Structure 1
């Protein structure tokens, strides 16, 4: 199992200690602990955890505000813990991009499945984001090939299919990608 990095945030030291012990026993790496939302934001930025487990009601900055800020610079999952289950609080948590929400007192039997689901969601989102980046890159490469093909069509008086085949052949002979060859043609 790859060791996921977790940030634990609660204004009660005993709760932080209990959560950390449970997490470490389950094989997770607790990279840092914070006592308020402001520290959570700073530590999340510094440690880039896979998951932040955070209380809602804390001094300085509450967990929902901290979650909102963390989600702006990170794709980490956020699991909120609270003694309150008011509908407004749940709505605010949803709007802040919180992945999961547990009502205190939290048992280990409730916590571990919630963590696993939150981390699974994070992995799925990360995978989708990588797919999107790959598709964007392919689209950019395709645009470059299309522009180079257009240049070949006009300078060598080739048809579209002939220009594409010319690019393919040159790419194979020179052992470079069509996108790289196309960029070289456009730069020439």
Structure 2
């Protein structure tokens, strides 16, 4: 990072103090500590106006300072038209502008503290205070601002929405390539890639409406992804009249669980659609040991504090030991990776002519942390 970028990324701080010498000293302190002095206000009203215009990252505010032109006194309860002093200005700036304020004062009397508590400053420092104390208060206030930023949920939703749109566009492009490609292996590879991209798109779609810690509706997520994948990839009759059955319980997923859950579903469902019914010819209504058509069943249930996601079919079963197949199968490797991110246990059950069942059991608890984080 060059010098210009460092200057651009420095936190901008507005100083509000009616004592010119003190304001200059605070400005020099801020500059020496790596902050940018956004401006200096001499009255409480000016501090509010400059905070609204300049939008600094933080305001360093003296308590005892003139209110404004008419010196109208207000209170810290949000009903003032003009701030009467620094405490009133603090209440307005934090409530209306969502900018943290660190109060500086030589007064520690109870009535000052009582009013300051109602204004909810990020810190309250008694003069004289050391430079290290000022810096510590500023750093904590800036960190809290990032954590409590009221616009953060909106920005997060917007990010999920944009990411979802990008993945959806990429999925559409892959589908077009898949349809136009004549090579069977290439079509399968494009279908696999499209399924993974679609899983990511649907994961971000399910997280659009919530904040960083909001739970996602697993039932809606799983049903939507399974139906979309099945509709896009199942071959049309009479090649293989497949049916999709959904048995999905209403439960919630943590944000970190949504993507690996979707990846696991996409891989298992795509594999079932492509490989479970290889000998189907559609002439007798059955194939690979099935009666009345092929069925792929997706289930999600809560069992003793854990969730179990399973994808089963009544097709031909896996051709070999799943453990051995996984060594050369990128799809099975993706399944294992998704299960590991869920802190879950993956299981594969299969018998020739009796279909296959792929499942993962993973914990449902708020302390979950994805291993990919």
- The reply to whether TM is greater than 0.5 is yes
Does residue 90 of the first structure (1) align with residue 118 of the second (2)? no
Q: 2:227 aligns with which of 166, 174, 183?
A: 166
Aligned to 2:37: 30
Structure 1 residue 4: deviation in Å? 0.3
Shift in CA distance, 85/32, structure 1 to aligned 2, threshold 3 Å: same
Aligned to 1:130: 152
Does residue 20 of the first structure (1) align with residue 7 of the second (2)? no
Between 1:59-68 and 1:32-41, the stretch displaced more is 59-68
Aligned to 1:112: 135
Structure 1: where are the runs of 5+ without partners? Answer: 147-159, 173-188
Shift in CA distance, 25/169, structure 1 to aligned 2, threshold 3 Å: farther
Q: Deviations over 1:80-119 (max 9, x none)?
A: 0011011232222122121000111222132111111221
Which of the pair is proportionally richer in helix? 1
Distance 1:92 1:28 in 2: 29
Structure 1 residue 11: deviation in Å? 0.6
TM-score, length-scaled by structure 1: 0.71
Aligned to 2:124: 101
Shift in CA distance, 9/171, structure 1 to aligned 2, threshold 3 Å: farther
Aligned to 1:63: 86
- Count of paired positions: 156
User: Of the two, which has the highest radius of gyration?
Assistant: 2
Which of the pair is proportionally richer in strand? 2
Shift in CA distance, 67/121, structure 1 to aligned 2, threshold 3 Å: same
2:128 alignment partner, SS class: coil
Shift in CA distance, 131/171, structure 1 to aligned 2, threshold 3 Å: farther
Distance 1:51 1:34 in 2: 13
Distance 1:4 1:100 in 2: 17
Structure 2: where are the runs of 5+ without partners? Answer: 1-5, 68-83, 158-206, 211-215, 234-373
Distance 1:92 1:82 in 2: 13
TM-score, length-scaled by structure 2: 0.37
Structure 1 residue 25: deviation in Å? 0.7
Does residue 44 of the first structure (1) align with residue 51 of the second (2)? yes
Q: Deviations over 1:119-152 (max 9, x none)?
A: 12212212x752476468425xx89xx7xxxxxx
